Amino acid sequence: MPATDSHCWVGVDLGGTKILTGVFDASLKLLGTAKVSTRAERGLDTVCERIERCIREALEGAGHKLAQVRAIGIGAPGAVDADRSTVLFAPNLPGWRNVPLGRRLARALDRPVVVGNDANVCTLGVHEVELRAQPRHLVGVFVGTGIGGGLVLNGQLYEGASHTAAEIGHMILEVNGPKCGCGNRGCWEALASRTAIYRRLRQAVDAGEKTILTDWLGRELEDLRSNELRKAWHHGDKLVRRILLQTADYLGLGIASLVNLLNPEVVALGGGLIQALHAELMPRITETARARMMPGSERALTLLASRLGDHAGITGAAVLARRALEDAPARTAGVKRA
């Protein structure tokens, strides 16, 4: 029921293909969501209008007014200068370079807006809402088309010298491995993302191997999604099982490297691939990862699949909004200081 006198937080997950928005109450309980397509190809103005629209729709659904929103958080794909709430560049949003997204939306909506990198924001959501801010050191690993990551170290989001830390998808795991989207070879995301799975499947099909997926999607395997992979797994498809287990091994190896490096209390996995296939893959990921960790770090570690699923981004964005307003108002575009 509408609670017209109470305030709320809004979290926005800005993706290359869709925008998801959530309205959260003061204690970060989710009250309602809305979703629109991004239409990134139509340019910056269109995307900003669509974010606005998506926020208004979610508020309407949750029975809240814009005036009740204390702050809006946004997780954006790409490099973000969190101090200025500015998107520096975003490979999946054509033409986005140095976009002062926070200031722009703050002006349009007359609410404070804070922007962070999407994988950082997801990690923040897992840390503060799912894990109740318990772990001092958390590594978030989000596996979908690529592999994104976030680091909470000493209880704080770690962003590095120029806001580009936690590019975990571009750790090198196989020096002469397959080519990555970044131009290098053997990056983790070239070995263990859905893109890597697609590449291995296509190579196998081209080499004459059989899979039920070609019956469902055609030989090109266009529009292959994580759910089809799960269905094929349960259909007993041998090729899909073999490739998914190989991918799980690569995920485990990368996690072992991260743990040897950062000795976190928790590694939390999320993203589309994990959401669809955690029951099938987590045992193998865990086994491979634990076998490769240094004993001291292995004992200290909890390895889990986040239960936030699709909502990690909006949840984390709401956390970002709340933190920005309560901890460091200067970082929030449009905030009037008391």
Contacting residues toward its own copies, per CB under 8 A: 79, 88, 135-137, 149, 153-154, 156, 158-168, 170-175, 177, 182, 184, 250, 253-254, 256-258, 260-265, 292, 294, 296-297, 299-301
Q: At what angle do helices 118-125 and 312-327 cross, to 10 degrees?
A: 90
Of 59, 155, 74, nearest to 319 by C-alpha is: 74
CB closer to its own copies out of 192 and 213: 192
CA–CA separation, 124 vs 188, rounded Å?
22
For helices 101-109 and 44-62, the axis angle rounded to 10 degrees is 50
Residue indicated by tokens 């004459």: 208
Residue 78 Cβ, how far from its own copies at the closest point, in Å? 10
Least distance in angstroms from the C-beta of 328 to its own copies: 15
CA atoms of 216 and 133, how far apart (whole Å): 43
Tokens found for residue 137: 């050191």
User: CB 36 → its own copies: shortest distance, Å?
Assistant: 29
Residue closer to its own copies, measured from CB, 54 or 138: 138
Between 30 and 138, CB nearer to its own copies: 138
Question: For its own copies, which is the closer residue by CB, 177 or 329?
Answer: 177
Helical packing angle, 194-206 and 226-234, nearest 10°:
60
The smaller minimum CB distance to its own copies, of residues 168 and 314, is found at 168
In terms of CB distance, is 3 or 245 closer to its own copies?
A: 245
Q: How far apart are CA 8 and CA 13, in angstroms?
A: 17
Nearer to its own copies, 22 or 252 (CB): 252
Look-up of token digits 């955690």: 278
Closest contact distance (angstroms) between CB of 295 and its own copies is: 8
Measured from the CB atom, the residue of 11 and 77 that comes closer to its own copies is 77
Residue 236 Cβ, how far from its own copies at the closest point, in Å? 27
Distance CA 36, CA 57 (A): 10
What is d(CA 213, CA 239) in angstroms, rounded to the nearest whole number? 10
In whole angstroms, the minimum distance from the beta carbon of 263 to its own copies comes to 3
In angstroms, what CA-CA distances link 314 with 49, 152, 209, 224? 18, 18, 40, 25
**From the centroid of its chain, how far is CA 229?**
20
Q: Which residues pair with 156 in a beta bridge?
A: 153
Q: Which helix (H) or strand (E) holds 226?
A: helix 226-234
Nearer to its own copies by Cβ, of 77 and 254: the residue is 254
- Residue 304 contacts residue 255 (beta carbons within 8 Å): no
- In whole angstroms, the minimum distance from the beta carbon of 287 to its own copies comes to 14
Compute the least distance from the CB of residue 326 to its own copies, in Å.
20
Biggest alpha carbon–alpha carbon distance for the chain: 68
Rounded to a whole number of angstroms, the minimum distance from the CB of residue 97 to its own copies is: 12
